[in-house]
Amino acid sequence: MSKFDIWLNKQAPTRDSFERSRFLRPFAQRVFHPALWRFTRRSVPRGVALGLLVGIFLLIPGVQIVGVALLALPFRANIPIGAAMTFLSMPATTPLILFSSVYVGESVLRLNNGSGRFYELIETAAPLSAWGDYVWNEAPLALVQGIAGLAIISIGAAVVGYFVAALFWRWRVSAKWRRRSKSLPSGR
C-alpha cells in the first residue's frame, strides 16, 4: 500500500461509524451494501461529485453526510469518499461559499441587487422602517438568487470534482502499472 492509501484509510469514515448513526439505522441494509464501500474507478469519482454537491449545497454539518449516504444508493457512489468531501465546506470556507453564491446568483438571475441594498442600509444606518421594507420586498428575491447561486456553484464543483477524481484515478493506476512493469524481469 502506498502512503496515500494508508492516509486515506485512516481519514475516511468507517462503516462501523456509520452503522452506529441513529439516522441511518432505517436504511442500514441498503446503505451498508459492500459495493458502496469499495474504492473502484467508477464509485470514487461519483463519491467525490456527490460529496461536493451535497456538501456545498446543504451547508449543514451532519445532514451532509446522511444526505451523501442516502444519495449514494441510486448513484452507486463510494460513501466514505462522499462523506469526506463534505468536509470541504467547513466553517472556514462557508463564508466564501455564501458570498460567492450571492454574487453568482445576482450575476445569473439579475432579479434585483439585494446585497447592494443590504450594504446601503448598513452604511446609512437606516431606520427600522427601511429595514422592514427591505425584508418584505427585496430580501426574498435576494434569497432566491443566493440559493440559485449555491446550486450553480455546487453543480459546477461536482462536475469538476468528478473529472478531476477520474483523471487522478487513471493517473494513479497507470503509475502503478509503470512501476510494476519496471520491477518485472526483462525476460532475457
The answer to whether 37 and 31 have CB atoms below 8 angstroms apart is: no
pTM: 0.75
Mean pLDDT, rounded, of the chain: 85
Residues 6 or more apart in contact with residue 1 via CB below 8 angstroms: 9
Cα–Cα distances in Å, from 47 out to 3, 5, 65, 176, 183?
Answer: 21, 16, 11, 22, 33
Q: Give me 175's grid cell.
A: 503509475
Domain ranges of the chain: 3-183
pLDDT of residue 114: 65
pLDDT of residue 85: 93
The span from the CA of 61 to the CA of 63, in Å, is 6
Please give the average per-residue pLDDT across 38-45, as a whole number.
91
Q: How do residues 77-93 score in pLDDT, each as one tens digit?
A: 999 999 999 999 888 99
pLDDT value at 144 more than 90: no
pLDDT of residue 152: 96
Of 59, 98, 73, nearest in space to 18 by CA: 73
Q: Give me 161's grid cell.
A: 470534482
pLDDT value at 188 more than 60: no
Please give the average per-residue pLDDT across 95-121, as a whole number.
82
Of 34, 53, 49, 44, nearest in space to 4 by CA: 44
Q: How far is CA 137 from the centre of its chain?
A: 32
Of 50, 55, 48, nearest in space to 88 by CA: 55
pLDDT value at 28 more than 90: no
Q: How do residues 61-79 score in pLDDT, each as one tens digit?
A: 878 988 998 899 899 999 9
The better pLDDT of the pair 105, 158 is held by 158
